[in-house]
Amino acid sequence: MTIGFSEQHELSKQKFKFFVSEHIVPFANDWDNNETFPREAVAKIAKEGILGAIIPKQFGGQEMDPITFGILCEEFGKGSISLISLLTVHGMVSQSILKWGTDQQKEKFLPKLASGEILSAFALSEPNVGSDPKSVETVATQDSNGDFILNGRKKWISCGQIADLYLVVAQVDTKPTAFLLDRKTLGLDVKPITGLYGFRSAMLAELIFDNCKVKSSDMLGRVGFGFSHVANAALDHGRYCVGWGCVGLGQACLDASLSYTSKRKQFGAYLRKHQLIQKMIADMATNVRAARALCLQAGNLKQMGEPDLIMETSIAKYFASKMALNAANDAVQIHGANGCGSEYPVQRYLRDAKITEIIEGSSQIQQIIISQSAYHRFLFESRNARKEKG
């Protein structure tokens, strides 16, 4: 049993593992090659109730606790972390509506999101903004009827190609504000993004808004809530999801390397007998466990509602994504020339692992958050120590 997992968590893990092994692993390489995530595959995920993972039961969801949801993300990451984008952005929108939506918005959207009747995407990133979401350039101008006219662009939107509902952050009089936008809205143009290095099955898209009309009733929260409330909480969910997915990806790298080195001979001995190989395997095994422990810590704090959650999630995502990239790099090295071809999945693992250091806030953004928090805690404790002495 994994430390920190209950018996119910272990049962959930086996259930998720079986689903992923049956419905994702056999097709992951083809989906990656074709840069697609077929609707029939999404339908199977929806039928399993996975799209309603964090949605309360009263709206038709599974109402998973944070650790169970993390385990789900780990298993998806093991099968194809590219597909975790669906869990990430769908969950970000669902959580945002649950937390900041009106009763009418909750009743209208959450049951459909839980069942998979509609898919959602979180539209924050822009071509000129990158990791500075407070400075989005998309604008929403209020008309004489009190509704809003949306103009601008979003880019690198995970699941943007297949989403039915977008949560869009735009500036209203220089105040970031969140809106719910139907895909069928006039003036919205969805352009697929292809030729990606990794996360090829994430169905990324660019969104172009040309005088899109958004009803005032489709604002989420209030004017000015877009970043400080909606996006901040959503990004924390996204980082938590990606962190756990990286644990799964690291485990997949370890499993692939253990299997390959137990079958492949070099210089008259199985690769597993070579000490340099053993060193790489030891690092992988150790770092996967460390990353899982950090994600568990974040999950426990999330369940308790602790105020330090954002920093702990950033630490988990930062470490886990670095771990996944290092593990994937070693896995390709262990496989040698075979690791560069399509016969083995480790080349896909390496390409996808690099993307995890960029999405939901780059590693550099996580470093800033973590260091600022560390300084804040140091100064707070120093002031308290001086008060006690004085």
Residue 387 belongs to some domain of the structure: no
Q: What pLDDT is recorded for position 131?
A: 61
Q: What pLDDT is recorded for position 361?
A: 85
Same domain for 273 and 353, yes or no, is: yes
Determine how β-strand 269-270 pairs with β-strand 188-192.
Answer: unpaired
**Distance between CA atoms of residues 239 and 66, nearest Å:** 13
Q: Is the pLDDT of residue 135 over 90?
A: no
Q: pLDDT band for 117, please (50, 70, 90 cuts).
A: very high
Q: Kindly report, residue by residue over 20-65, the tens digit of the pLDDT.
A: 999 999 999 999 999 999 999 999 999 999 999 999 999 999 999 9
Tokens of 214: 């958004």
Q: pLDDT band for 1, please (50, 70, 90 cuts).
A: low
Q: Is the pLDDT of residue 293 over 80?
A: yes
Give the residue from 74, 95, 115 where a domain finishes: 115
Q: What pLDDT is recorded for position 269?
A: 85
Same domain for 130 and 93, yes or no, is: no
Q: Kindly report, residue by residue over 234-256, the tens digit of the pLDDT.
A: 999 999 999 999 999 999 999 99
Same domain for 107 and 174, yes or no, is: no
**Distance between CA atoms of residues 218 and 212, nearest Å:** 13
Mean pLDDT of 176-200: 97
Q: What pLDDT is recorded for position 169?
A: 96
Determine how β-strand 165-172 pairs with β-strand 120-123.
Answer: parallel
Same domain for 268 and 318, yes or no, is: yes
Residue 155 neighbours by CB under 8 Å, 6+ apart:
125, 126, 127, 193, 206, 207
Q: What pLDDT is recorded for position 378?
A: 87
Residue 302 belongs to some domain of the structure: yes
The residue range of the domain holding 281 is 228-376
Q: Kindly report, residue by residue over 199-223, the tens digit of the pLDDT.
A: 999 999 999 999 999 999 999 999 9
Q: Is the pLDDT of residue 339 over 90?
A: yes
Q: What pLDDT is recorded for position 308?
A: 65
Same domain for 259 and 213, yes or no, is: no
Residue 381 belongs to some domain of the structure: no
CATH number where 56 lies = 1.10.540.10
User: Residues 320, 250: contact at Cβ < 8 Å?
Assistant: yes
Tokens of 237: 């969910």
Q: What pLDDT is recorded for position 271?
A: 87
Mean pLDDT of 289-303: 95
Q: pLDDT band for 384, please (50, 70, 90 cuts).
A: confident
Q: Is the pLDDT of residue 264 over 90?
A: no
Token match 């390496």: residue? 350
Same domain for 141 and 200, yes or no, is: yes
Q: What is the mean pLDDT of the chain?
A: 93
Q: pLDDT band for 267, please (50, 70, 90 cuts).
A: confident
Give the residue from 83, 115, 147 where a domain finishes: 115
Same domain for 74 and 196, yes or no, is: no
Same domain for 92 and 173, yes or no, is: no
Q: What pLDDT is recorded for position 196?
A: 94
CATH number where 188 lies = 2.40.110.10
Q: What pLDDT is recorded for position 212?
A: 97
pTM of the predicted protein model: 0.94
3-state secondary structure of 307: coil
Residue 2 belongs to some domain of the structure: no
**Distance between CA atoms of residues 348 and 341, nearest Å:** 9
Residue 384 belongs to some domain of the structure: no
Q: pLDDT band for 389, please (50, 70, 90 cuts).
A: confident
**Distance between CA atoms of residues 97 and 109, nearest Å:** 8
Mean pLDDT of 167-175: 95
Q: What is the 3-state secondary structure (H, E, C) of 128-176?
A: CCCCCHHHCCCEEEECCCCCEEEEEEEEEECCCCCCCEEEEEEEECCEE
Residue 383 belongs to some domain of the structure: no
Mean pLDDT of 102-117: 97
Q: What is the CA radius of gyration of the chain?
A: 22
Same domain for 147 and 276, yes or no, is: no
Q: Kindly report, residue by residue over 144-168, the tens digit of the pLDDT.
A: 889 999 999 999 999 999 999 999 9
Give the residue from 173, 202, 223 where a domain finishes: 223
User: Residues 254, 272: contact at Cβ < 8 Å?
Assistant: no
Mean pLDDT of 169-184: 96
Same domain for 183 and 237, yes or no, is: no
Q: Kindly report, residue by residue over 95-108, the tens digit of the pLDDT.
A: 999 999 999 999 99
Residue 337 belongs to some domain of the structure: yes
User: What sections of 81-137 are H helices per DSSP?
Assistant: 84-100, 103-115
Same domain for 279 and 301, yes or no, is: yes
Q: What pLDDT is recorded for position 383?
A: 82
**Distance between CA atoms of residues 65 and 5, nearest Å:** 12
Number of domains composing the chain: 3
**Distance between CA atoms of residues 66 and 95, nearest Å:** 13
Same domain for 232 and 368, yes or no, is: yes
Q: Is the pLDDT of residue 178 over 90?
A: yes
Tokens of 197: 């290095």
Question: Known catalytic residues?
Answer: 360
Residue 390 belongs to some domain of the structure: no
Q: What pLDDT is recorded for position 390?
A: 63
Q: Which long-range contacts (CB under 8 A, 24 or more apart) does 270-276 make?
A: 271/334
Q: Is the pLDDT of residue 323 over 70?
A: yes
Query: In 10 A of CB 384, how many CB atoms?
Result: 10
**Distance between CA atoms of residues 4 and 296, nearest Å:** 7
